Structure formats: C-alpha cells, structure tokens
Amino acid sequence: MRRTIPLGNQGLTVPPIGLGCMGMSDFYGRPEDSANLKVLDRALELGCNFWDTADMYGPFINEELVGKALEGRREKVTLATKFGVKRGEDGSFLGLSGTPDYVRDCCEASLKRLGTDHIDLYYQHRMDPDVPIEDTVGAMGELVAEGKVRYIGLCEVGPDILERAHKVHPLSALQTEYSLWSREIEDDILPALRRLGIGFVAYSPLGRGFLTGAIKSREDLAPDDWRLTQPRFAPDAFEANLDLVRRVEDLAANKNVEPGQLALAWVLAQGDDIATIPGTTRIANLERNLAAGDITLTPEDLDALNALPHQDIVGGRY
C-alpha cells in the first residue's frame, strides 16, 4: 500500500501520485477503451487510486470510461471530477458557467455517467467571470450537505478568489498546472493555500509530456495532437524550450533515473500538501511515474533543479 497525504484540512487523504484520465479520451488522440481500462486496473493494483476526470473531457465520454472502471470497486477509488466548461456533443466549446442551477445539473449528469451516488472531490474547472464565486461555491456546498459530494475544490484561481470561496464553504483543494517549466504559483498561490489550509493538486507535472524527454520534435506528436496548437510547442518555442529538457536529462542521468521521474519527484518535494495527477495511456508510463514517488532528492539535487532557467521558457501556458 502506497502512502497517502492529507489534501487540505477537511479530512481528505490521497496518494501523492494519482492519475489524470483526460488523455484517455481527448486532446492527445483517443486510445481504445480496452487499453485504457487496463491502465486503470493496473493503477488500482499499484495503489494509485486518486483518479481525476471532468465532464468536458471527450466531451462526456471520459466520465463514462471511468464509470466502467469503477464498477464493483467504487469504494477503492478517490474520485475527482469537474464542471464549469461547457461543451457541445460535437466537441465545440460553448463558454463557462457557474450558476447554481448549472452546478446542480452538471453534478447529476456526472453521477449518472460515473455510475455512482457520490463524488469525492468536485471542482469548478474554470471560474465563470459573470457569476460571483460565492454563488457557485454555495451551490457546491449544498451538494456536500446532500451527500452527493464529499469535498470541493477550485481550479486555476488566485488568492483573492480562494479567500472568498473558502469563507462560503471550506475548500479541500486547488488544482493548477505546476512543473519545472510552470512555477507561477510559488509566489502568491502556494502561500495562500497553506495559510488557509487548502491542499494543492498539480496537473501537467511533466510539462504535458515535454519534460520526459520523449518528445524531441514536433513530428513526434500526432497531427491532431492538441499540444501542437499551444504556444510552448510552436516551432520556434519548441526548439528554445528543449534546452530545459536537456538540462533535466543531464541531471536525471547523474541520478540514474528517468527525466520524467526527476521532474515528478521535484514537484512532490515542494511539500507534503501537494498531490500530482500525471496522465498516461500506457502501463509502462504509469509504473514509471509511480516509481518517482520513491525517489529521494538531496539538497544538492533540489538546488540544481531549482536553478533551472524556468523563467526563460518561451511561450505562455495556453
């Protein structure tokens, strides 16, 4: 049994390395469900039972996939899903919503797709700028009172919103991108989380796969891979950003670990209140990621990793 960590002060505990399920259904192509289910099976065997999905992945079909994997073993999984990004059945993006009615409707739909009567951690995926956060979180709190949700969280918001939301109903987690090439949260957000007693879940801790060293050129990605549309993967930015990857590779080789493992271990070393949800569609990658939890970084390792020129990364996150 792998160790667990407290995620915030509300009683939620999770393994430090969970599994982001998004890529099983969207953005990076869509592998066969049979292969995805084998990855989810293996994750449970290895104690990786913190699974992250959202209604917009697919759209909708990622929750259905996770629901299949949950059959007969719901109690073994700490399940996180999200609402807030509206998508049509054809995959079109239709904006954001955080109205109380929308919160409730999304929760009911997610429960049905997931085949469960409760969600362990329910996030607002992106804040609706037209709806006060107090209204949205108030509706989420009602779902907790009804037993349909156990804990709540937000994604990609700053300290002010965290403060306001936390006064309405205690938050257990904030989910935001964090890795060796995305360290923006360190100045203001992480200190605010720790002051408020809210946990942190790092998505894309491997830089969307870039920090593994497996992507050497844009041609290594499928033509329909969403990453090709992102600023850091644009042709000029890609070549410039490879410098960071080469430095991670050198440090990893000195420690006799994989670059992705070193990058993941660095995120975990930033605090015992930080969980990660690297995504994968391959069992070998899953096992490699989980092994990163056993890596001990020395003060010298951390000094070298912290000195990497993350501020020189070319291109925004989106």
Please name the amino acid found at residue 42.
R
Please state the separation of Cα 259 from the chain's center in Å. Answer: 19
Residue 246 in any domain: the answer is no
Q: What is the pLDDT along the chain (318 residues), one digit of tens a residue?
A: 478 999 999 999 999 999 999 999 988 877 789 999 999 999 999 999 999 999 999 999 999 999 999 999 999 999 999 999 999 999 999 999 999 999 999 999 999 999 999 999 999 999 999 999 999 999 999 999 999 999 999 999 999 999 999 999 999 999 999 999 999 999 999 999 999 999 999 999 999 999 999 999 999 999 999 999 999 999 999 999 999 999 999 999 999 999 999 999 999 999 999 999 999 999 999 999 999 999 999 999 999 999 999 999 999 999
Confirm whether 184 is domain-assigned: yes
Domain-located, residue 68: yes
Please count the structural domains in the chain.
1
Q: Is there a domain that residue 203 lies in?
A: yes
Is 242 part of a structural domain of the chain? no
The confidence score (pLDDT) of residue 1 equals 46
Q: Helix, strand, or coil here: 268?
A: helix
d(CA 125, CA 189) in angstroms, rounded, equals: 17
Structure tokens at 155: 């994604």
Please give the radius of gyration of the chain, using alpha carbons only, rounded to the nearest integer: 19
Question: At residue 206, what is the residue type?
Answer: L
Q: Is residue 307 part of a domain?
A: no
pLDDT at residue 29, as a whole number: 76
Is residue 17 in a domain?
Answer: yes
Query: In terms of residue numbers, what domain contains 102?
Result: 5-212+258-296
Tell me the CATH number at 181.
3.20.20.100
pTM: 0.97
Strands 5-6 and 13-14, sheet pairing = antiparallel
Residues facing residue 179 across a β-bridge: 182
| Angle at the Cα of 48 from the Cα atoms of 72 and 137, rounded to 5 degrees | 80
Query: DSSP letter string over 108-164?
Result: HHHHHHHT-S-EEEEEESS--TTS-HHHHHHHHHHHHHTTSEEEEEEES--HHHHHH
Selected catalytic residue, list 28, 57, 102, 122: 57
**Residues in a beta bridge with 151:** 121
Give the CA-trace dihedral at 136, 140, 141, 147, to 10 degrees. 170
Q: Is 122 a catalytic residue?
A: no
Greatest C-alpha distance within the chain: 54
305 in any annotated domain: no
